[in-house]
């Protein structure tokens, strides 16, 4: 199963503890009974002309919903609108990831290397991380981890009891098998794969390099298509930003272990310095990456970013502070994503999305799978990591161009949506509690994203959409409390509908 650490879902049904009032009945935002865009298809723009999109470059406004119940604040918030000629809608379907494609992918990356089954972690390996958790070493010394330590120790001790003392290599054929539980995900989150007869996963190690190979396929309208080849691990500038934000938050905490905090600051400083010193040739790396995609026959993705990173020959999944700076190498991450009409579907890596457990009183789009993305990590010695998620292919063009709602209407749709979320929270609270919420919008961007395909819900329509990124605060009686940053909401740019990601 793919790594979901980069995308966080926050459950509002859990954040606001319950009463038993029903959710208020609020009419749907829009009626999508005929597919949502049927009245918004327009002629393509003339050759060489750019589409005029009604949106300001900067947004300054405070929107009050419910007499102060919800405040939406935008102060010099940049609205990013790429230059595009048209805003099309296209239909895509999940790729048929069969054994033949698996064989081709593994042969491309592993060459003639023997392949063996990814082994279980041994008692010694698990005990090493058990001791780190227990002694609050490395990333586990972070006070933000405190709430989870007891659960993690319980989970890892359970695994240690059943773990083998040693493991032998088991050479395997290239075929999909049943899903296996990841020790890391079980320790950190209690996630365990359901016992099933479905053969939709593949786990292996390339003997020559030690690279981990993992794949999954979408089957019977469940699961997801992905292929990973990972030789080592990496830390990049986006991860550094999250660490620096964490450090600023920790400075406000009392009883902070100064020795651990000093090591955390040193870790961030080392990473920042290495990223600044990175001199790898981006054009050369991009050329190499493009050639790999061409050789693999991957033709529908576009490069959307290149950034410096530091590559570690050892996996850093359990503790990123374990990186060995002496052996770590400068590297570059290059990202590809599915685009439509020049609008990228790439979300921020640190994006968080609210999931409303009881639903909202508005119709929503809920795509069957997420937009396709791909990253590669290169050192001066070549490709080290390849991660391809939500493998898909285009089926047809639904509309060459569409009429978009003006931003004045879009921002109102966004405001209505967050107000509905607040109303949902109210329905799950004691009536005596008076809560106010503030959403500070930090970025707005026109992009493309998936909705379910009209008449073919197993497929997806790629439509223009507005991404709102914001920080969230609540006030339950005079004391404002910060809930989180980089929280995202997607609004359909054609009809103003809410696009929900949970379950995708």
Could you report the per-residue pLDDT of 440-454, keeping only the tens digit for each? 999 999 999 999 999
In this predicted model, which residue has the larger pLDDT, 415 or 2? Answer: 415
Average the pLDDT over 170-188 and give the result: 93
Task: Please give the torsion angle defined by the CA atoms of residues 2, 4, 6 and 11, in that order, rounded to the nearest 10 degrees.
Answer: 160
Q: What's the confidence (pLDDT) of residue 37?
A: 81
Closest CA to 234 of 324, 307, 309, 322: 309
**Count of domains forming the chain:** 1
Note whether residue 263 is domain-resident.
yes
Q: What's the confidence (pLDDT) of residue 3?
A: 44
Looking at the chain, the whole-number percentage of residues with pLDDT higher than 70 is 88
Note whether residue 192 is domain-resident.
no
- The SS3 call for residue 106 is helix
Q: What's the confidence (pLDDT) of residue 266?
A: 98
Note whether residue 328 is domain-resident.
no
Strands 8-11 and 352-355: parallel
* pLDDT, mean over the chain: 88
Q: What is the chain's percent helix, strand, coil content, to nearest 5?
A: 25, 35, 40
Q: How confident is the model at residue 479 (pLDDT cuts 50, 70, 90)?
A: confident
Note whether residue 270 is domain-resident.
yes
Over residues 117-164, the pLDDT tens digits come to: 999 999 999 999 999 999 999 999 999 888 899 999 999 999 999 999
- DSSP characters for 242-302? HHHHHHHHHTT-SS--HHHHHHHHHHHHHHHHHHHT----HHHHHHHHHHHHHHHT--SEE
Residue with tokens 């033949």: 100
Over residues 208-218, the pLDDT tens digits come to: 999 999 999 98
For residue 376, the tally of other CB atoms under 10 A from its CB is 22
Note whether residue 256 is domain-resident.
yes
In this predicted model, which residue has the larger pLDDT, 429 or 73? Answer: 73
Q: Does the pLDDT at position 4 exceed 80?
A: no
Note whether residue 64 is domain-resident.
no
Q: What's the confidence (pLDDT) of residue 17?
A: 27
Please say whether the beta carbons of 419 and 427 come within 8 A.
no
Average the pLDDT over 152-179 and give the result: 95
Over residues 195-238, the pLDDT tens digits come to: 666 789 999 999 999 999 999 998 766 778 999 999 999 999 99
Q: Which domain covers residue 257, as residue numbers? A: 239-277
Note whether residue 249 is domain-resident.
yes
Note whether residue 264 is domain-resident.
yes
């Amino acid at each position: 199963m793919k790594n979901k650490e980069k995308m966080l879902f926050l459950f509002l049904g859990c954040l606001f503890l319950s009463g038993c009032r029903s959710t208020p009945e609020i009419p749907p935002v829009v009626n999508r009974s005929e597919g949502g865009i049927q009245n918004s298809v327009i002629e393509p723009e003339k050759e060489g002309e750019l589409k005029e999109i009604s949106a300001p470059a900067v947004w300054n406004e405070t929107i009050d919903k419910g007499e102060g119940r919800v405040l939406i604040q935008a102060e010099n918030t940049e609205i990013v609108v790429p230059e595009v000629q048209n805003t099309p809608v296209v239909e895509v379907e999940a790729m048929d990831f069969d054994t033949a494609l698996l064989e081709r992918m593994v042969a491309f990356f592993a060459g003639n290397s023997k392949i063996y089954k990814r082994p279980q972690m041994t008692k010694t390996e698990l005990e090493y991380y058990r001791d780190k958790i227990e002694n609050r070493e490395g990333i586990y010394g972070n006070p933000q981890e405190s709430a989870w330590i007891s659960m993690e120790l319980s989970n890892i001790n359970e695994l240690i009891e059943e773990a083998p003392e040693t493991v032998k290599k088991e050479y395997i054929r290239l075929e999909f098998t049943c899903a296996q539980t990841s020790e890391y995900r079980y320790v950190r989150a209690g996630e365990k794969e359901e016992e099933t007869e479905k053969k939709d996963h593949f786990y292996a190690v390339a003997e020559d390099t030690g690279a981990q190979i993992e794949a999954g396929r979408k089957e019977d309208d469940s699961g997801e298509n992905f292929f990973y080849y990972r030789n080592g691990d990496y830390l990049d500038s986006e991860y550094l930003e999250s660490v620096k934000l964490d450090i600023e938050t920790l400075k406000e905490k009392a009883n902070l272990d100064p020795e651990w905090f000093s090591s955390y600051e040193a870790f961030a400083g080392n990473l920042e310095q290495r990223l600044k010193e990175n001199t790898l040739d981006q054009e050369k790396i991009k050329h190499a990456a493009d050639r790999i995609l061409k050789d693999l026959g991957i033709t529908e993705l576009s490069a959307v970013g290149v950034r410096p990173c530091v590559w570690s020959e050892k996996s850093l999944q359990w503790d990123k502070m374990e990186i060995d700076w002496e052996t770590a190498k400068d590297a570059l991450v290059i990202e590809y994503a599915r685009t439509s009409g020049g609008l990228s579907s790439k979300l921020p890596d640190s994006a968080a999305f609210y999931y409303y457990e009881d639903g909202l009183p508005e119709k929503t789009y809920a795509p069957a799978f997420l937009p396709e993305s791909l990253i590669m990590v290169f050192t001066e010695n070549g490709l080290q990591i390849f991660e391809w998620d939500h493998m898909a292919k285009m089926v047809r063009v639904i509309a060459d161009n569409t009429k978009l709602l003006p931003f004045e209407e879009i921002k109102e749709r966004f405001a209505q949506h967050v107000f509905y979320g607040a109303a949902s929270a109210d329905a799950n609270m004691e009536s005596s509690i008076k809560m106010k919420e503030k959403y500070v919008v930090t970025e707005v961007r026109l992009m493309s994203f998936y909705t379910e395909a009209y008449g073919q819900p197993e497929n997806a329509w790629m439509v223009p959409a507005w991404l709102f990124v914001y920080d969230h605060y609540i006030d339950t009686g005079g004391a404002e409390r910060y809930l989180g940053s980089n929280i995202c909401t997607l609004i359909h740019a054609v009809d103003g509908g809410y696009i929900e990601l949970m379950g995708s």
